[in-house]
Amino acid sequence: MPSTKRRWPVAACAALALAAPAGAADHRDSPSVIADPSADIADVFAWSSANGQSLNLVMTIGRDVAAGFQFSDQVQYVFHTQSAAAFNQSQAAEVDIICQFDANQVASCWAGNTEYVTGDASDTAGIASTSGALRVFAGQRNDPFFFNLDGFNHTVAIVDSVASTLTFDGNGCPALDDATSATLRTALQSNADGSGPATDTFADSNILAIAVVVNKSVVTGGGPIVSVWGSTNAR
């Protein structure tokens, strides 16, 4: 059976009327997933265009990839979308945006049953469907995900050092006073010892990216609320 790898967004649904992006992060995986980096999703981002007419989607693949790293010709890269009239209401059938590549990195991408593009999508402008309702870029970019690993590890060390003194509420959350909360926030926003600003662990890392701009009319048949998740699937 073909294997399928899925990464679920942090926020299950994003209202397309809002410009704020929703994202999912996944930069560390099990050995079985890391063994196939061309199918390893790092992040999925989704946000509405400023004019509210389009949905922007980005899927990043791999971790700190080499200059010649490519999309696999044995993998489909899929954005799964479903729409609804309002939160907590029944969703329409999925409208999938599927991209695949041949050995020469020629892309073929579909959005539902209406939009199709094919060609070299590595130019910054990407490639567009005949109607213009779908545009796709696919190529190598600097990793857009910001993560301060040093600050995170420093924060973990602080929590570990006081773990025995913490008290917890009925939901299992620690009771923290304002001073303790401020200390932890500062540690997360600082370098390894808290003496300087945060540094981006992935700042110098490259990654493969599939960036899609699709007209909202293609993905909002069930209403303006759209949920998005990504998967890679063996062809």
Q: Is 48 helix (H, G, I), strand (E, B) or coil?
A: strand
Q: Report pLDDT for 25.
A: 53
% of the chain exceeding 90 in pLDDT:
53
Report the C-alpha gap between 118 and 79 in whole angstroms. 17
As a whole number of angstroms, the distance between CA 55 and CA 95 comes to: 13
The backbone torsions φ and ψ at residue 128, rounded to the nearest 5 degrees and listed phi first, read -120, 150
What is the radius of gyration, based on Cα positions, of the chain? 20
Among candidates 77, 72, 82, 81, which has minimal Cα distance to 60? 77
Q: What are residue 111's DSSP bridge partners?
A: 97, 115
Q: What is the rounded distance in angstroms from the CA atom of residue 60 to the CA atom of residue 206?
A: 10
Confidence check: pLDDT of 125 > 90: yes
Q: Write out pLDDT tens, residues 24-81.
A: 555 555 555 556 789 999 999 999 999 999 999 999 998 888 888 999 999 999 999 9
Predicted local confidence at residue 16, as pLDDT: 40
- The CA-based angle 16-19-25, given to 5 degrees, is 85
Q: Which residues contact 38 (CB under 8 A, 6 or more apart)?
A: 61, 62, 69, 70, 71, 72, 75, 208
pLDDT for residue 130 is more than 90? yes
Measure the N-to-C terminal CA separation of the chain; round to a whole number of Å. 10
Q: Report d(CA 235, CA 231) in Å as an integer.
A: 12
Question: Over the stretch 132-172, which tens digit does the pLDDT of each residue have?
Answer: 999 999 999 988 888 898 999 999 998 888 888 888 888 88
Residue type, 132: G
pLDDT tens readout for residues 178-233: 988 898 999 999 988 888 899 888 888 889 999 999 999 999 999 999 999 999 99
| CA-CA-CA-CA dihedral for 11, 41, 206, 81, to nearest 10 | -50
Listing DSSP states for 61-107 in one string gives ESSS--TT----TTEEEEEEEEEESSTTSPPPPPEEEEEEE-TT--E
- Residue 38 pairs in a beta bridge with none
Greatest Cα pair distance, the chain, in angstroms, is 63
Q: How many residues does the chain have?
A: 235
